[in-house]
Structure 1
Amino acid sequence: MRFAWLEALSCVFAAAVFVLLAVSKVWHGPIPRYDFLLLGCLLVTGLLWVTGVETGREVLVIGLFHVVGLALELFKVRVGSWSYPEDAYTKILGVPLYSGFMYAAVGSYLCQAWRRLELGLIDYRPVPTAVAAAAVYANFFTHHWLPDLRLLGALLLIVATWRTTVTFRVGETRYRIPLWLSFVLIGGFLWLAENAATLLGAWQYPDQTDVWRMVHVSKFGSWALLVSVSFVLVAALKRLDIRRRGVGASDYDLPMPALSSRS
């Protein structure tokens, strides 16, 4: 129960996005829905920062994930993978600007969970893991013209993270889990969240045009792979933060236990 509570607190930004989606589904205000969602996401981000729920660095991470997600959205909408059928003033090439915040919600969760659960990494290999994650991200673009190599990308990630363990604290006890397994578990929850989001009209797949259908189970794997990209970005920022604070800083002063890694 304590772990579930910490996880729920870590999902505060994502929960706020779902509230905005639900409200905008039943309430039609004076501005288009996508514009309302963008304003709402900006207000939530500011509120979480002012109240201290999100740190300044975490807000920067949200901005970074917004850019990374928006780049993927612009491409995927252009090739017809999904669409945003409603009109809005804040749409660029068919993509509403609020869409980047859905990826930012993933980044927010990772940062919050990292801090609240005091995550640490054992035998983390940043370079091989980052290379595998970069290949996975590139495949999201290239598979429209070249062979789909997501299975190869998944294999590369497993090889790169095979000995990597995530440690986390619940109460007075530290637990550990293989890093690759955490990608799978988070990917599963994101697939469930995607079903709820499309039900609320956040975006629309081609087979959901006439009537809503569950998102294909293959997206489960896609989310698990995308989580690896998110994790590598957050881990890199955490390592930079540790180095900025100095080698002499104690674990108590850090937002996470110091990373031990093999080159």
Structure 2
Amino acid sequence: MSTHAKQKRLTTASIRAMKGRDRVVCLTAYTTPIARLLDPHCDLLLVGDSLGMVLYGMDTTVGVTLDMMAAHGLAVVRGAERACVIVDLPFGSYQVSKERAFLSALRLMQETGCDGVKLEGGEEMAETVEFLVARGIPVFGHVGLMPQLVNTAGGFRSMGHSDAEAEKIRRDAAAIEQAGAFALVIEGTVEPLAREITASLSVPTIGIGASVACDGQVLVVDDVLGLFDGFKPKFVKRFAELGPVVSSAVQSYALEVRDGRFPAHEHTFQPRKR
């Protein structure tokens, strides 16, 4: 029997303790193979409802279901040994009541083995966050641009340009921290405001289209790898261009199939010699 204990994943408490000490590295993940590739390098893997757009071809995240999040959450947890795994609560699964939010979060925690859930919202969701945390559900907050509210926000746009909008985001961030969230995402928010909010909070802020001053950063992994050919936001930096590599590989495969060069002898099974 091995004498080495299985490595434990980072906890939400571990992520919170990184505030002011270490930058939090976060990426989205939706499948087991990708989670295994990201895990050694990331502190937090987010099973984002962005999977609706990245994997399912949706125009927004609004159509993502709890079933989808549970299936992909389980897949990512299977591939994670080190990173803390957080799963998004999809649109409609938590806004009706704090009790509904608890049942949705409970399902994700039980069915996937994830370390916590993420939900969007500020002051209006603070009571729900407090309710979940008091009942053992770690919560990752999300303020600024909130993709689930795209239909009422007038589309995907940067936030915090007006004094009123900036003040609302400040209040949102403070409310979610006070409600007990272990960290929060600041998305699509003007840089000085994201910097200011980060300095004002005692929990880590994870920026996406926010500020380098945030305590960590998150991007959609398909954007990072150049695999998603949809809308490319200003805040995305592609660290690889794998889309053309995949296309070229498939083109070579197709040519060899059509020319009768694949499969070759070494790719087939031959009768055993008697």
Same fold (TM over 0.5): no
Structure with more of its chain in strand, by fraction: 2
- Between structure 1 and structure 2, the one with the greater Rg is 2
Structure with more of its chain in helix, by fraction: 1
Compute the TM-score of the two structures, normalised by the length of structure 2.
Answer: 0.27
**Higher RCO by CA contacts (8 Å cutoff, separation 6 or greater):** 1
Compute the TM-score of the two structures, normalised by the length of structure 1.
Answer: 0.27
